[in-house]
Every structure is written in C-alpha cells, then in structure tokens.
Structure 1
Amino acid sequence: MFDVLQVGQQHGTSTDRSRIGAEPVLLSLSPTIVGSRGGAMVTMRSGQAAQAALREEHWQEMERFGDFLTDEDLAALPQTIRDGLIGVRRPGGMRYPAFQIVNWGDGTKEVPPAWLQLVELLAPAGWNDEFLILWTSAPNAYLEGASPAQTIQSFPTEVTAELRYAAERAIPTRPGGPGSWQ
C-alpha cells in the first residue's frame, strides 16, 4: 500500500470539514510503503524502500554471477579458511562472498591477509556482516571505481594505501568528520 501525497501537501492533520467529528488524519511529508516481512508489518519511507531495493538488486547480481560460496562449498575448504569468512543469510541458506578467498598460483587457497586487515580496520564502524559485504563489493570512488573486493584480489597480501584511505572515510568518527554526513 502506498501513501501517495500531492506535491506541496503540508505535514499536519487534515482539516477536511466534511469529516467533522472524525478522528484527525495525520499527513506525512514523504511517501510511505507498508508491507510485511516474516509476518510482521514493516513501514519504511520511500528512500529506505529504494535503498532496500538497491541492496536486494546488488545481492541478486552477485548471486547471478556466482560470486558466492554455499555451506556445501565451505565444507570442502580447510578450517583455516572457513574461520576467516563472513556470510549472510539469503534464500536457500548462507552465502559467503568468494572475494574473501584468493587462489595462489600454486593452486593453494587462502583468506587474503588484506581481507582480514580490512575487516579489522572497519571494525570501529560497527557494521553487520551484510553491510560490510555490500560496502566491500560496491564500486568506490576512492579506488577509481574499483570495489574494495577487487582491490583485495589484486593486492591480497596487505591493505593498499588507497584502500585504507577509502575505509577510513567510510567510518563515521565524529560529527562533520570523515565518513560523516554532516
């Protein structure tokens, strides 16, 4: 259900005189989308709904290109690799972005040290695994349009200066500081 309002409509209560005695109707400044998730009603502003739709589109694109490992894929990997991975619950089970693993030229696989360093560097942001994966897999202007995941695959042994700079700017530290919207 969409609460679509006319342009220029003011926030407040309805003053429609034909409804004398009726309860006032609260008007909103922005459209609201109401739906359900897991049986519970969810209300979000249109901006939040657009962000959620973009996140879901990003997840589906990564799944379409096979950029995820499943629980079955992980079972075939050594414990030392599994311990360094983060995942997200998706329809059909847990998914683990494949960019967390590097294939060395000799055929061995490993969680790149740069990935572990980046996760540690971003820890002060307090992001959940889903947001961390989304940020890491999205193009980044500080990396000339490459994603942090692509940078890690290109330079797996340590976080580059450019990636460190991008990460530091993503972490909200104080109002008006790097990573702030103020």
Structure 2
Amino acid sequence: MELGPRGLRLLLNLYPPYLFTRTKVKSISSDWRECVVELKKSLLTRNYVGTAFGGSLFAATDPFYMLMLIKILGIKDYIVWDKAAEIHYQRPARSTVTYRFVITDEALAAIRRDLEATGKSLPRFEVKGLDREGHTCVTVVKTLYIRKKDRGVRSADDEAPG
C-alpha cells in the first residue's frame, strides 16, 4: 500500500519515538518537497538545565529528507539512505522548535545530474530548528546517499552505506 502525504504524516505522528518525545509532523506538501516538524519541550525532551535535550533536537530531524527523496524519486527505482549528519547548536531551545525541510528544484536537478553522470549522488541538505521567536537554536546538515537500483540484482550497496 502506497501512503500519500497525509497518511505518512498520520503514521509518523503515531510512531512511538515521535509520540513520546512530542515530535509532531505538522504538514507534508502534496509534491513531497516540503515538510514541517515540531518538537515540543516536555519532561521527556528536557535536559538537566531545563532546555531541550540535544539528542531530541537531532532526532526530530530524522528521517525526513530520506523519506521525501524516496517519495520524489521512487522507492522502486532508487536507493536512498542517510549517509552522514552533523549538528550545530546556536542557542538553548527553551520553547517548541520548528523545522522546515525543503527540497528545491535546484537540489533535485543536481541530484538527477549526478545520477546521470556517475550513477550516484551525495546531496547535502541543511535544516534549521527555530524557536517560537524565530531564533535559530540548531542547524542540522544531512548528507544522503542515492543511487539507481539495479533491477533484479541485490548488492551490498542496497544496505546502508558505511
């Protein structure tokens, strides 16, 4: 069964790691190019000094770019994995943090050029976590691994890249 944006949003919002940490997918665009996620500060996401725990801030960004690209490119034709990630903390998160994941036309065109030229792509995406006042609390950079599937041939590349 193929899930549309609304179905995937509902499923993710019931996923226990998101449910218990009060991570909520607010919206997914019909073309899969934009996704908005909120992390509410709660007893389970608060650290010793009362701000959002860094691990929760980071976990709230996973696996949205991967899912968006799988839906855009097609899971039957492409392998898409998170390859690397980095997090940069700018200020303590004392309120709800909102992430807006966007895949631009330019990024998608670059991915397709890479796939055509080399058979794989390693795009990097940046997402900022903004507090209620619009201040950047955290910036997360994700590197993804994308390649076209070989029909009927399963290889080590079908597994997550190391």
- Regarding TM over 0.5, the answer is no
Larger Rg: 1
Q: TM-score range by the shorter chain?
A: under 0.3
Larger helix proportion of the pair: 1
Structure 1 or 2: larger strand share?
2
